[in-house]
Structure 1
């Protein structure tokens, strides 16, 4: 059959949506003439402005997500008006099943294998069974049914794009705020949206000191909303080190992309900003807390994109009996530095 229109359903948070963009990119390569639409929460949609692998970003705001009837009516109108040939439901929740319920004539209704979706998804992929592959590979498994239509061109890259104008505008702002682009700039997430993902503060400060002492880097703290107080306090505790900047702020996700694209390296706690950094091809090193699998959440791990997890050096048996904090504290300053130092020497300005 000729595939003209494809809908990819993602919703939710920054990191999940960034990793899922690989689906759209592989679809673009495999069906270059098809219309590809991407469903997201409104607050993260700006990340995908002018993305070459997406024709339409379809957004749902908080009111539409929270009001059942508004949500149902919008889903119904969308799929009835567009008549998609393929629906790829990356979430496969009870709520996202309505896209397929109103599209029973759609030839490919693809989702992850769940107990409750066998009537509505005619292709159910068991893509979460193998814990040894990363989230991008999990997502790309949803394209398997389409192999009967064409030769799917699989690639695990996921990319975001910043225009030269956006990058230049933010660079000018950074210069006015004190950044010297003759020296290396490192963006650091000392905090995180979820408190349990934040590594030991004293250990983080020691790593920052070593980075500044050896490489004379300029460090920009990235934070949002309630994270600001924590980040600013770390700066105060480090005697307002002149090499650390808390005055440079991205007021939007587009701004964050522009900020990251003007930096030389990313370091810090695992989260959405790290995924954005990798999507912008910025070398990065992240700290993964217990229960957040580095194997799953660090696609394309290698010399350019790396990280550390308690599981790297300690088996589950060795960690049994430890509480969460004890497991997190298995990651030491020296362990991080021994790996981070190698990357900084390779990727920072000489």
Structure 2
């Protein structure tokens, strides 16, 4: 049997979907003739349009996901219409098992090993046993059963794509908002959707001020609708500095990709935008709260993409007995700046040579 049609299932958030695209890219390299379909939540699907390693995007809306019979009907119709040779269920939840349940003739029904998926997945991969593996490598382990069909060519490089026209239009928009494209541009995420994941704002403010002072940098605050009030408050606290651009809105994920492809550096709290930045090959430093597993959520040993966490400063013994917030507060301005400055110096010099 040759691999002709593959379904990759990856519901959840932006970062999860971005890190899982390596499955599609590795299948493309391993089986160039295969048709690859990617199942996603509809609000993040535009991020993967025009991706050379995805032939078809299949979306589910919140309404479909939240109404069991609508969801079931759509999954059943999909599996009845399409004849997949391979199903890769990246999470193997009770809900995603229905894709395999409606396609039991599919030769390769692959899922991460769970105690309840014996019947539905005939290839169950224990890809969460090794805590040292990052999320990209865990995803790639799901391809192991396909070694029976040919030599696997793996790639850990996850990429996102927008058209040249999209990038050109967004660059023009940035210029209209006052950005000088010949000067150093830093996309900043001082805010997070989950408040407890954000580093202390006073410390963040100090780092941003140092970036402006040292590099004469243009800082673009990237924030969601829910974070707008916090963004405006920080902007006012920093004296409405002309180096800060608070009104450059990437009101779609594709525009965010265009923004990140135009920028020179990324700095801020860990989250979906950080993964998108790495997928755009934008160097950066992200601040990780102490409860986020590292290196799981910072794939790649490439020094262009780095993290900083309280555990970089202190061992587990020092942090023992403290609350999560107390541990997070141990992360100092000086330590973050010590990590950030060499990276930003390199990016600044690279920009100057262009």
Whether the TM-score (by the shorter chain) exceeds 0.5 is: yes
| CA distance, structure 1, for counterparts of residue 213 and residue 41 of structure 2 | 42
**Which residues in structure 2 correspond to 1:1-350 (within 5 Å)?**
1-348=1-348, 349-350=351-352
CA deviations 1:162-206 (Å, max 9, x no partner) are 211111100100001010112110000010111111000000000
Aligned counterparts of 1:102 and 1:255: Cα–Cα separation in 2: 37
Q: CA-to-partner distance for each residue in 1:16-56, whole Å, 9 max, x for gaps?
A: 00000011000000010000000000000000111000000
Task: Between 287-296 and 39-48, report the one with greater CA deviation.
Answer: 287-296
Q: Does the 8 Å contact 1:294/1:308 carry over to 2?
A: no
1:255 is displaced (CA, Å) by 1.0
SS of match in other structure, 1:307? strand
Distance in 2, matches of 1:132 and 1:192, equals: 26
5+ unaligned residues in a row in structure 1: which ranges?
A: none
| Structure 1 counterpart SS, 2:155 | coil
Q: CA deviation at 1:329?
A: 1.2
Gaps of at least 5 residues in structure 2 are none
* Structure 1 Cα separation of the partners of residues 346 and 294 of structure 2: 22
Q: In the TM superposition, what is the alpha-carbon distance from 1:294 to its structure 2 partner?
A: 2.6
8 Å Cα contact 1:294-1:309 kept in structure 2: no
Aligned-pair CA distance for 1:318: 2.2
Residue 301 of structure 1, CA deviation: 3.2
String of CA shifts for 1:84-135, please: whole Å, max 9, x gaps.
0000000100000000101110010000110111111111111111111110
Equivalent position SS for 1:228: helix
Q: Distance in 1 between matches of 2:294 and 2:232?
A: 28
TM-score by structure 2 length? 0.97
Q: Secondary structure at the match of 1:306?
A: strand
Distance 2:105 2:162 in 1: 38
Give CA deviations for 1:185-229 in whole Å, capped at 9, x if unaligned.
Answer: 000001011111100000000000111101110000000111111
Distance, in Å, in 1 between the alignment partners of 2:163 and 2:124 is 38
User: CA–CA distance in 2 between the matches of 1:46 and 1:193?
Assistant: 20
Aligned with 2:268: secondary structure? strand
Shift of 1:345: 0.7
TM-score of the superposition, structure 1-length normalised?
0.99
Q: CA RMSD in A?
A: 0.8
Deviations 1:44-69 (A, max 9, x none): 00001110000000000111111101
Decide whether the 8 Å contact of 1:15 with 1:276 is kept in 2: yes
Q: Secondary structure at the match of 2:306?
A: strand
1:214 is paired with a residue whose SS is helix
Aligned partners of 1:121 and 1:310: how far apart in 2? 40
Residues paired across the two proteins, number: 350
Helix, strand or coil at the partner of 2:275: helix
Tell me how far apart the structure 1 counterparts of residues 126 and 319 of structure 2 sit (CA, whole Å).
29
